[in-house]
């Protein structure tokens, strides 16, 4: 029977569990995200900017392409569509709407779609768009109606629906009040069905006045943390990409909990991961004849009879005091359960009590969930304000999931920060710092080395001050992952060779040498002996004559039958190593079902304990 400890996670699995908890992997997604790009194809969109700047249409196509690529990599099951309005040609389901061209239906992004977008970029792309679609009068109401039909034709469950309008015209109908009223009515119908409408307005001569028409069409921010309507239009590609990136992805909570501030006083909060480790996707196994994905199934059989075991027939056990304690799965779950998931406020501590070595794993972010409990945002805001004013953090007990062990956490207040364009840099809320238990601290004996002299320390301070720079984590990309996706992109898009990437983590040696000047040589003269060359190879170790140059093989450890019986009687077989247990099984002809330590012990107990 399986060891009881096997039901609980070991150290490696615990780390994987924590990583999964931080990245939100265990959060169940109830549907797919969907995004529709509604792009103005009027002649004004194709006018080039000053000083060789790309046209608004070309900027939009670059942004659409980047979103397609991002979706393919990060969430390939999301649905994306591209629709042009104000076109001469019409192409939509049943051709019900004039001057609306559905370039891509609402479907998963793929390599073919990226190639289609590439064909619309640059001067050749503008010519192709003019030949394929053309430019004509505009009816935004028909375009919104067409997008509503795209959503209604989808039979899949959609968790989030968003529509982005790209245009440089603040009056799309030229003051036609009938068309304006139709567009406002259709936009209201879309918003009632849960579609979020955003405006990505672009620069035009004389400026873009949002209040003329679009302020009545777009959706208000879903919560305080979301970027609202920007008054200033996008002039550059980077600005447009930032705004689209801030809107395109729905913020998913890792968990939604109640923060208990006292008896009968609960605040609904969501836990969000602000940073997640980027990893290469795992390989998918394919059937070699059809290239279809294959699924693996695991079944458990009885070692003696070979019969298939049902989950209800499998129990957990642990040997304690030479006695096997058998428990049902429900009993094990009941033992593991400490309390219901949630955050329980214990008290407040000054910020000085929170030390740097208390940081044992990446922090997560806490934000109120007004939809769950009304008034949560108001009470949460008051708590955040008071903690910040008094420079304290809230100490809480946190149980993130059912059957998760409790952890002590520190809720550190964080203020909202916005940039010059009024775009949010950091949202208001609490950073959740996981605190260590007493068992997590280790006593270390650091090695003793001769201390550096004050002259050497001062010289190193000079070097450090010369090499200082402002660090931003988002300025450095993982070169391994970037190269991996460049290779996949080249294969999918039939490119001759993958795009070159710049390895940003490599040190800039020439710039470092220019900044330091003679400081490096001066430091070497102070620390290292004369004529020291750090690049020289160390002298090879001499081989001993007795050993013949090779490492001595450890002799096999054999245990006698009497010693094994004593171990069986005392229940101390677990003290022996796996190689010793394997050798004992071979010595006494004991057949085992596997090679795990507990399986070897069970086989020896069955043979020698009888």
What is d(CA 148, CA 185) in angstroms, rounded to the nearest whole number?
Answer: 13
**Residue 554: partners with Cβ closer than 8 Å, 6 or more residues away:** none
Alpha helices in 432-577 (DSSP H): 454-466, 479-492, 509-516, 519-527, 561-570
* CATH class, 32-248 region: alpha beta
Q: Which CATH architecture has domain 561-609?
A: Orthogonal Bundle (1.10)
Check if the beta carbon of residue 65 is closer than 8 Å to that of residue 122: no
Check if the beta carbon of residue 170 is closer than 8 Å to that of residue 208: yes
- Answer yes or no: is pLDDT of 215 > 60: yes
The residue among 518 and 3 whose pLDDT is bigger is 518
pLDDT mean over 303-320? 86
- This prediction has a pTM of 0.61
The residue among 482 and 457 whose pLDDT is bigger is 457
What is d(CA 183, CA 80) in angstroms, rounded to the nearest whole number?
Answer: 22
Tell me: the pLDDT tens digits for 403-427? 888 999 999 999 888 777 666 778 8
Confidence of residue 39 (pLDDT cuts 50, 70, 90): very high
Residue 249: phi and psi, rounded to 5, are: -105, 130
Percentage, residues of the chain above pLDDT 70: 85
Q: What is the pLDDT of residue 101?
A: 92
Q: Which whole-number Å values give the CA distances from 459 to 122, 498, 512, 517, 532, in the listed order?
A: 54, 45, 16, 13, 18
Residue 320: phi and psi, rounded to 5, are: -140, 120
Supply the mean pLDDT for the chain: 81
The residue among 268 and 580 whose pLDDT is bigger is 268
Query: Could you tell me the residue ranges of all domains in the chain?
Result: 32-248, 260-277+341-440, 470-527, 561-609
Helix axes 597-608, 561-570, angle to 10 degrees: 100
* CATH class, 260-277+341-440 region: mainly beta
Residue 444: phi and psi, rounded to 5, are: -110, 145
Record the tokens describing residue 172, joined without a space. 């799309």
| Minimum mean pLDDT range among 257-271, 273-287, 404-418 | 273-287
Q: Which CATH architecture has domain 470-527?
A: Orthogonal Bundle (1.10)
DSSP-assigned letters across all residues of 237-288: HHHHHHHHHHHHS----SEEEEEEEETTEEEEEEEE-S-----PPPP--B-T
- Answer yes or no: is pLDDT of 7 > 50: no
Q: Could you list the active site residues?
A: 28
């Amino acid at each position: 029977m399986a060891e009881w400890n096997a039901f609980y996670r070991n150290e490696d699995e615990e780390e994987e569990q924590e990583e999964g908890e931080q990245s939100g992997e265990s959060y169940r997604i109830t549907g797919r995200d969907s995004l529709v790009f509604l792009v103005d194809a009027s002649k004004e969109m194709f006018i080039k900017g000053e000083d060789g700047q790309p046209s608004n249409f070309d900027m939009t196509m670059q942004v659409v392409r980047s979103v397609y690529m991002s979706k393919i990599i990060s969430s390939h099951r999301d649905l994306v569509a591209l629709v042009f309005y104000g076109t001469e040609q019409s192409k939509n389901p049943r051709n019900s709407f004039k001057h609306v061209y559905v370039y891509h239906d609402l479907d998963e992004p793929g390599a073919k779609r990226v190639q289609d977008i590439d064909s619309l970029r640059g001067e050749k792309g503008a010519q192709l768009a003019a030949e394929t679609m053309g430019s004509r009068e505009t009816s935004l109401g028909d375009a919104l109606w067409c997008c509503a039909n795209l959503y209604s034709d989808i039979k899949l469950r959609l968790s989030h629906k968003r529509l982005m309008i790209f245009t440089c015209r603040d009056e799309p109908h030229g003051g036609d009040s009938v068309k304006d009223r139709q567009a406002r009515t259709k936009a209201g119908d879309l918003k009632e069905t849960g579609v979020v409408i955003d405006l990505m307005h672009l620069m035009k001569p004389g400026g873009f006045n949002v209040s003329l028409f679009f302020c009545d069409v777009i959706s208000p921010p879903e919560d305080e943390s979301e970027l609202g309507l920007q008054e200033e239009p996008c002039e550059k590609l980077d600005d447009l990409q930032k705004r689209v990136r801030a809107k395109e992805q729905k913020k998913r909570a890792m968990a939604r909990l109640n923060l208990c501030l006292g008896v009968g006083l609960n605040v609904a909060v969501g836990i969000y991961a602000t940073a997640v480790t980027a990893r290469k996707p795992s390989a998918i196994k394919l059937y070699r004849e059809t290239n279809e994905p294959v699924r693996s199934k695991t079944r458990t059989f009885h070692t003696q009879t070979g019969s298939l075991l049902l989950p209800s027939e499998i129990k957990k056990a642990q040997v304690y005091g030479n006695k096997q304690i058998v428990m049902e799965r429900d009993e094990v779950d009941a033992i593991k359960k400490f309390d219901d998931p949630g955050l329980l406020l214990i008290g407040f501590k000054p910020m000085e009590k929170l030390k740097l070595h208390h940081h044992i794993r990446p922090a997560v972010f806490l934000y109120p969930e007004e939809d769950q409990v009304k008034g949560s945002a108001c009470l949460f805001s008051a708590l955040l304000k008071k903690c910040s004013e008094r420079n304290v953090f809230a100490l809480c007990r946190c149980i993130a999931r059912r059957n998760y062990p409790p952890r002590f956490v520190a809720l550190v207040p964080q203020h909202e920060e916005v940039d010059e364009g009024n775009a949010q840099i950091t949202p208001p809320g609490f950073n959740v710092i996981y605190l260590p238990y007493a068992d997590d601290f280790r006593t270390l004996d650091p090695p003793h080395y001769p201390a550096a002299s004050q002259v050497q320390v001062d010289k190193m301070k000079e070097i450090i001050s010369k090499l200082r720079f402002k660090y931003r984590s988002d300025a450095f990309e993982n070169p391994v992952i970037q190269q991996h996706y460049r290779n996949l992109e080249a294969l999918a898009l039939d490119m001759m060779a993958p795009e070159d990437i710049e390895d940003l983590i490599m040190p800039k040696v020439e710039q470092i040498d220019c900044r330091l000047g003679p400081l490096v040589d001066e430091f070497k003269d102070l620390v290292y002996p004369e004529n020291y060359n750090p690049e020289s190879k160390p002298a090879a170790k001499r081989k001993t004559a007795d050993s013949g140059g090779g490492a001595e093989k450890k002799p096999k450890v054999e245990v006698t039958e009497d010693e094994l019986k004593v171990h069986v009687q005392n229940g101390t077989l677990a003290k022996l190593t796996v190689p010793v247990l394997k050798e004992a099984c071979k010595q006494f002809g004991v057949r085992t079902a596997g090679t795990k330590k507990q399986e070897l012990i069970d086989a020896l107990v069955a043979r020698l304990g009888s």
